[in-house]
Amino acid sequence: MTGSFIHPALIMIIGALLVPFIRGPLRKPYLILIPLLTLGAVISNNSLNGSLATFQFMDWQLVFGRVDKLSSVFASIMALMALIGTLYGMHVEKTSEHIAAWFYVAGSLGTIYAGDYLTVFLFWEMMAFSSVFLIWFRKGPQSLKAGYRYLIIHTFGGVVLLFGIMLRYQAVGDIEFSLLDVRNPELYTWLIMAGFALNAAVVPLHSWLPDAYSEASFNGAVFMCAITSKTAVYTLARSCAGMDILVLLGVIMALYGVIYAIMENDIRKLLAWSIVSQVGYMVAGVGIGTELAINGAVAHAVVNVLFKSLLFMGAGSVLYMTGKTKFTELGGLYKKMPATFFLTLIGCLSISAAPFLAAYVSKGMIIGAGFETHLNWASWLLMLAATGTFIYNGVKLPYFLFFGKNNCSEETWEKAADPTWNMIAAMVFGSALCIYVGSAPGVLYSMLPYAVHYDPFTAYHLAETLQLLGFAALIFFLLVKYMEPVDRLSLDLDWFYRKGGLFFLWIAKNPLEWFDTAWSEVYRVVGLRSVMSTAKFWSWFDWNAIDGVVDGLARTVRGIGGRLRVLQFGQIQYSLYFAASFAAVILIAYILLQLS
Amino acid sequence: MIKFIEYLQTRMKTVIMVCIVLLVCIAAFAAAVDKSHAHTWVEQNIPFFWSIFGFCAAAALIGIARWFGKAGIQVPDDYYDHSIWLDDSDK
């Protein structure tokens, strides 16, 4: 720690580690206390400025507390999100779920305050590896597989980011996390951008988001919808502001998300597609890169955390109470869940940029920045996407979930009711913030990175918005039969790696396994026998040929020795007899030879 | 609130009429409002521009999404559970 900087991630991490030891009546107050302390630390840090909490690690200076307006506004909304999310899931008994969620928030706060790439990477991975548990903890039929896909994709993104960081260090010689030279991008610029873009769900690196968020636990999804993609927007705003390609990618995201959300049957997947679309605005704003655009991107990220978490809380309440998330299994729920309906509706109108609600004060900044920089095509297409947002989120979601045809089974209808008091309280809190920010954006604007010269409350903006929403609603009800949700899955780009994975598995389990088995059999039948025969031959050759030469002498010597030994074993008188007889024969032969 | 919604549901024709009147009021308001700060020529010179834009954009998006879905993007919900590359043990 340096100065009075208190790292809020540290509070969340220590708080998370202590959760298992806090039991009984102290548990719920403790669950609120830690996010409150975290929020307090962030508010306290907001008065600071500069690179704080620095540490020397080998040749590098690690900065854990880079405080400026950009980091302060993102840290503030993430800390607030920790409070709302924890309040929403306060009744959850599973300790590990709270631990995972808090480590996840800590990862986000650590990334936001990081002043160097090494620290960014550390907390970046903490986010990925803690959030995956929020998917697995649902224990749904698809959660395990979705979690593994999420982890693999994020590990891949992490490797891309790390590769970019290493190449940049090699080229530049420092690890400072700052604005890249986006006008003259090097390979490392693209890699770092791609690493961040994957977490921002930039098309075509987006498929993990609807796949994972729709499978997360009811309260885990509330954290997930707010944290990963918005932290990624922060990193893009910090490092890639003004990178032209992001304008195009952002616009594609905004429209791509709209089309898929219109087709979607699962309410949480619809909201996940909505994240892709809304983050598209932020990415486009970062790409435009002017002060107004960056302000717009940051403001939209902040309000997005508020209304998106509110919407996921509404959808999570339906899941928690009924166990269902499909339009084709729900409908007409306003009678059974009136409070949930009303609060979710505020979220629906907030995301649609309805007057005096959250997105009304932010979306226009990005679109206006596009027009000001003569990127008219981008602004027109973002307006098109804004119309779509109202269609799927402002009308389709509340209409088919709370009104429309009642598709509930008897059991689902029996279960349906407004959720626990803490879940309602969290939604009331989120709704109040959506109304407050949308009606009085002064506090939000004062926190933005640049001075704000934008007034959302002009008569023209009001007329523009009312026309757009009013006539889009008209066409919705005229074409409502074409909007009727169907129980179908919409194929996306994850088809390639999901089918690719199945194909790889099939290759491994079929041709490769068959070949392996066949090869083993061939080896057993042909290889093993021939090897054994060869071995026997060489054994024989060794014994009879090689050893025969060497050992043959020994065996001969041994044989002679044995025979001699037999002789030696004879009685002494026989030996003397033979010896004397032999000597006598020799002597007689010699005498006869001399006489002749 | 439930009673109020049910009250409205029993008077759907009136609700629809109110909505139409509201749309007319919005259009009238849009016609009267100062457009000098609008970003583009079309906004300044085409009457009820955003009404037309909202109407056409919504229709286009619904049409595109429907065509996209029918074009083979929408498949049965258990699509990934049935594959020629999937053994029974993997399901």
* Cα distances (angstroms) measured from residue B3 to each of A26, A52, A67, A390, B31: 40, 57, 52, 26, 37
Q: In this predicted structure, what is the pLDDT of residue B85?
A: 66
Of all residues in chain A, the one with the smallest CA distance to B40 is A371
Shortest Cα distance, chain B CAs vs residue A444, angstroms: 24
Q: Assess whether A156 and A292 both reside in one domain.
A: no
- B58 vs A contacts (CB less than 8 Å): 387-388, 390-391, 471-472, 475-476
Domain boundary among A217, A240, A263: A240
- Domain match, A318 and A447 both: yes
Output the CA–CA distances (angstroms, integers) from residue B85 to A145, A498, A508, B89, in the order listed: 17, 11, 11, 12
**A41 plus A121 within the same structural domain:** yes
Indicate the pTM of the whole model. 0.87
| Overall number of domains in chain A | 3
Q: How many residues does chain B have?
A: 91
Pair (A351, A480) in one structural domain:
yes
Q: What is the largest CA-CA distance in chain B?
A: 68
Q: Which of A260, A391, A503 comes nearest B62 by C-beta?
A: A391
Last residue of a domain, one of A439, A466, A488: A488
Q: What is the mean pLDDT of residues B33-59?
A: 93
Write down the pLDDT at residue A1.
Answer: 46
Q: Which tokens is A434 given?
A: 């959506």
- Which residues in chain B are closer than 8 Å to A382, comparing Cβ atoms? none
Instruction: Kindly provide the b/e burial profile for residues A206-236, where b requires at least 16 CB atoms within 10 angstroms of the residue's own CB.
Output: bbbbbbbbbbbbbbbbbbbbbbbbbbbbbbb
Contact between chains at A384 and B85 (C-beta distance less than 8 A): no
Please give the ipTM for the structure prediction: 0.92
Indicate yes or no: CB of A460 within 8 angstroms of CB of B57.
Answer: no
Rounded to an integer, what distance in angstroms lies between the CA atom of residue A476 and that of residue A479? 5
Q: Is residue A212 located within the same domain as residue A273?
A: no
Q: So where are chain B's domains?
A: 2-73
Phi (first) and psi of residue A407, to 5 degrees: -100, 10
Of the candidates A152, A102, A92, A158, the one whose C-alpha atom is nearest the C-alpha of residue A125 is A158
Q: Most B CBs within 10 Å: which of A259, A383, A477, as the mutation test of the B interface?
A: A259
A263 and A182 within one domain: no
Q: Which tokens hold the place of A406?
A: 């009642």
Q: Are residues A384 and A531 in the same domain?
A: no
What pLDDT does residue B81 have?
Answer: 83
- A472 and B57 in contact by Cβ < 8 A? yes
pLDDT score for A389: 96
**Cβ–Cβ below 8 Å for B58 and A388:** yes
Angle between helices A95-113 and A117-136 in degrees, nearest 10? 160
CA distance A505 to chain B (A): 8
> Are A142 and A108 members of one domain?
yes
Q: Is the peptide bond before A204 cis (omega within 30 degrees of 0)?
A: yes
> How many Cβ atoms sit within 10 Å of the Cβ of residue A487?
14
Predicted confidence at residue A583, as pLDDT, reads: 84
- B60 burial (CB, 10 Å; 0-12 / 13-18 / 19+) is middle
Strand runs labelled E in A205-271: none
Task: Assess whether A131 and A227 both reside in one domain.
Answer: yes
- Regions of chain A where pLDDT drops below 50: 1
A235 lies in some domain: yes
Question: Which structural domain range is residue A131 located in?
Answer: 1-240
Q: Which chain A residues are within 8 Å of B73, Cβ to Cβ? A: 263, 490-491
Kindly report the backbone phi and psi dihedral angles of residue A178, in degrees, each rounded to the nearest multiple of 5, phi listed first.
-145, -175
Which among A434, A463, A488 is the end of a domain? A488
Nearest by CB to residue B37, choosing from A258, A458, A475, is A458
**CA–CA gap between residue A194 and residue A200 (Å, rounded):** 9
Please answer yes or no on whether B54 and A387 come within 8 Å at the CB atom. Answer: yes
Is A494 among the domain residues? no
Q: Which residue of A329, A365, A466 is the best one to mutate when testing the B interface, meaning the one whose CB has the most B CBs within 10 A?
A: A466
Q: Which residues of A touch B53 (CB under 8 A)?
A: 383, 387, 467-468
